[in-house]
Amino acid sequence: MPTILYQDQFLSRDQGKVDMEDRGYQFGDGIYEAIRVYGGRLFLLDLHMKRLERSARELRLQLPYSIDHLTDNLRTLIAKNQIDDGLVYFQITRGAAPRQHLFPEETESVLTGSAISLSREDALRPDGIKASLIDDIRWLRCDIKTLNLLGNVLAKQKAHEQGSEEAILHRGDTVTEGSSCNVFIVKEGRLITHPADHFILNGITRLFVLDLAERLDIPVQERLFSTEELLSADEVFITSTGAEVKPVVQIGDQLIAGGRPGVIAGRLMDAFDKEVTRIRTAALS
């Protein structure tokens, strides 16, 4: 049985219970993070924790523990579950209180967390995937990593029913992001991705890929791009904590670049791989 984190305690998974009046359950009133683990180490930890603090601030939600304390607990959770390559998920809700919309006055936030194994072979798709273009019907604060994911859930389900692995979302003519990832296109050797504003989640993998692009001298434009530019792009790929860099080779009925992953995505995947190998080697020494 896996070990989970409940507040400050480590429990067997079947002991983890939440109150039926928890606001996360009733209103989706909470935030979360998912952090990749390579060689037992939390990858890009500081960026995830900064985003967590920002999400909490934007929702005026009190973090129940300091970041240092939370980090220690996440490391213990990884060790207790003997995770080598994996994923740590944790969420913090505004806590349990009699149901009314207003913030409760003296309620403690509730933290729950889990850790699973996820091998890179299972997570990566170097040959690319098919995606569907789906209307972005979400609220206007997609920059906050909240538990309210219904717009994302409906989009992903619709894409799945169309035989696609991911939904690429658009508002009118503008591509925003994926249902659980960020979207990049390549035009004439240049990377283009939606700017980090209220319409997208500023993915940690997005930030890491922008950093890799700079190191590889690949020019980048953070600007709006249209569905037409998407469909006629030289390359399309998505990024996320679980999937790293994943080429998109078909959108709806349309093949992208003849249905083969592109050169720039390949260079970024190689650079990503080197970084992971470096971290895994450091973890062993």
Is residue 177 part of the contact set for ligand PMP (CB under 6 A)? yes
Residue 119 and residue 86 in contact, taking contact as beta carbons nearer than 8 Å = no
Binding mask 183-202 for ligand PMP (x = CB under 6 A): ------------------x-
Determine the residue with CB nearest ligand PMP. 203
Closest approach, Cβ 182 to ligand PMP, in A, equals 5
Catalytic residue among 17, 130, 145, 187: 145
By CB under 6 A, residue 152 contacts ligand PMP = yes
When the beta carbons of 80 and 120 are compared against ligand PMP, the nearer one is 120
* 206: contact with ligand PMP by CB under 6 A: yes
Q: Is 275 in the site for ligand PMP (CB under 6 A)?
A: no
Tokens of 256: 């992208």
Look up 246 and say whether it is catalytic: no
User: Does the protein bind ligand PMP through residue 205 (CB under 6 A)?
Assistant: yes
Q: Distance between CA atoms of 77 and 5, rounded to whole angstroms?
A: 7
- The reply on whether position 240 binds ligand PMP by CB under 6 A is yes
Nearer to ligand PMP, 85 or 177 (CB): 177
Q: How many residues bind ligand PMP (CB under 6 A)?
A: 14
Residue 182 contacts ligand PMP per CB under 6 A = yes
- Residue 176 interacting with ligand PMP (CB under 6 A): no
Name the residues annotated as catalytic: 145
Residue numbers at the binding site for ligand PMP (CB under 6 A): 34, 152, 177, 180-182, 201, 203-206, 239-241
